Structure 1
Amino acid sequence: MQDIVNHFNTHFTTIGERYVTNNTQYQANKLNDYVQDKIPAGVRFTFPFIKLDETKKLLSKLETSKATGLDEVGPFFIKLSSEALAPSITYLINLSLEGVFPENLKLAKVNPILKNEANHTAIDMYADDTTLHTYETNEEEIERKLITMPTP
């Protein structure tokens, strides 16, 4: 059984490499230069920090039936404890907007899901179902709302 688990893990953690050709290399400096060329002088692109009341509002809308992540802390508990957790979650979100993200939250639970009417013995016939920490799911929603146009 452990061999099967390891095989799935290897498959899902290396699948991206199979779709990248040798000619496709990520070059951060070229991307940075391109972006800098598109932004007029004196204009800054920023994400405004999220406020405590915004975090509380999002926590109140959590779907409590969603799965838990590796931390096994489900959305029901987070929603129930939102008053106590909101300041810490707000702090973490604002840190991540500055490029700081805790290492232990960079993990996810990945479950293989067999594609419709597929051959269950072929590993390529499985898709991954990734479950993030509840905190990360909320952060993604918050970041989508915070994207703003550059202002002088």
Structure 2
Amino acid sequence: MNNALKGNILKGLGATAAAAAILVAAAPAFASAPAFSLAKPNSGMSVDSFDPQVQVFNRQNIADLLHARSVSVVKFDTAWNEGGDAGKAFDALNNSDQSIHLLREALKADPAAMRLLAQNHVAVNQVIDIAPAGNGTVQLYVS
């Protein structure tokens, strides 16, 4: 085999490898994005579940958001009835500054998460919590 033919084969393999690398890198862009919907008022999880959920930052929740089939956007100020549940949820929120900060910083560091939030008109500084709800559904709590 002459050197010119070897060179052409190697160039062809290099181009094929480069094209494959581009497709692999772009694969997340081809994945289907979750459907976002606004949750109805008073549809927040039980306050007894919300309290420990919001107080602990769990990086896995970002992966759950990115791989969800559907995302229910829950507005914090309408998530619970005005009664005791709303007061308990507000107390839980006030005790969770550190975990909320860590969640927001992790979201900011994840380009795919930032794109997903931007595409759905959610500002990262509004995010309070991400809670997996099962069956590919995630509740996204926002202020």
User: If the length of structure 2 is used for normalisation, what is the TM-score?
Assistant: 0.26
The structure in which a higher percent of residues are strand is 2
Larger radius of gyration: 2
User: If the length of structure 1 is used for normalisation, what is the TM-score?
Assistant: 0.25
